Amino acid sequence: MNTAAAEKLAASPEGLTNQKAWSEWLAPLGISNESHVLVYDANRQLAAARVWWLLTYLGVEHVALLNGGFALWQTEDRAVDTNLPAPGPSQHVVKLQANRLADREDVLTALEKQEQKIVDARSDAEFSGSELRSKRGGHLPQACHLEWLTLVDADGRFLPTDQLRQRVKELGIMPGDAVIAHCQGGGRASVNAFALERLGFQTRNYYLGWSEWGNLNDTPIEKADKPEQP
């Protein structure tokens, strides 16, 4: 699966809404509308969760993550195959699921109305503003900080559900809350989105995240020391 091509497409202007381009990306994968897809990686769910989110955004209904990475699979002496699969062309009809994606206007509305929780999946340094990956650093006002790495162990296994539920409760995220997750560019937020959806939270991914928000001059930002006015 060409995840690099998917990342590039998703990060391009209007890429997430380019149905034709996503159909072309999906075409070689042999996925049908009835397929059950299992995604795994060797990077603590970071790549796998991104693919999971993209597939569900494209309307693939049955997508799961392997709870643990490929290294763990091998350590447990499970079956592996070295043959490269040759699936037929995909039969899945791409239908973009707008309810899974948030854009900048959605986030601004959420901040104004305070009816949704904003969850930041980035590192402590990014959240505080001490590490810059865009022109401006810091975090969204009202954002809850839930770094993606704290949700999975070193082998890529998610925390048990009761521990996950306690973590989000401590952040003030309560049953029934709608959530918008974000990071720098979609991947880490996808890990959070998967974990939150396991707990039953309706979650959208602000996929462009800080790569967009932090490079604008008029978006509200806070830092660890004091608020920064747009």
Q: Report which secondary-structure segment, H or E, holds 142.
A: none
For the residues of 152-218, what is the DSSP string, one character each?
B-TTSPBPPHHHHHHHHHHTT--TT-EEEEE-SSSHHHHHHHHHHHHTT-EEEEETTHHHHHTT-SS
pLDDT in tens, the chain (230 residues): 678 889 999 998 799 999 999 999 999 999 998 999 999 999 999 999 999 999 999 999 999 999 999 999 999 999 999 998 888 888 899 999 999 999 999 999 999 999 999 999 999 999 999 999 999 999 999 999 999 999 999 999 999 999 999 999 999 999 999 999 999 999 999 999 999 999 999 999 999 999 999 999 999 999 875 444 44
In CATH, what is the architecture of 100-228?
3-Layer(aba) Sandwich (3.40)
Which positions are annotated as active-site residues?
A: 183
Domain ranges of the chain: 3-99, 100-228
Asked whether the domain spanning 100-228 has the same topology as the one spanning 3-99, the reply is yes
- Domain 3-99 belongs in CATH node 3.30.300.210: no
Q: Are strands 227-228 and 178-182 parallel, antiparallel or unpaired?
A: unpaired
